[in-house]
Amino acid sequence: MADKKLVLTTISQGKVAVVESSERADDKRGERYISEACLSVNLENGNFTDISDTNANPEGRLYMLTEDM
């Protein structure tokens, strides 16, 4: 099993999200890897909201851009 990484991507109707995934980031879709530190700062600043409890990402954590909610 591959290590899980945080990927900045778009999901459902172009909403910006960070997903924890073992899949490679898709450069063609503009996906990028981000660090735990980057995620932490964005959570603290309210830019992203933890929606992991929705179980929408079977691989792990899921964070939605707050303004897209």
For 12-37, the pLDDT digits (tens) are 899 999 999 999 999 999 999 999 99
Nearest to 5 by CA among 33, 39, 32: 33
Taking a C-beta distance cutoff of 8 angstroms, is the pair 51, 42 a contact?
no
**Global pTM?**
0.90
Domain that holds residue 9: 5-68
**Number of structural domains in the chain:** 1
pLDDT tier at 44 (50, 70, 90 boundaries)? very high
pLDDT for 1 beyond 80: no
Is pLDDT above 90 for 5? yes
| Of residues 47, 38, 16, the one with CA closest to residue 29 | 16
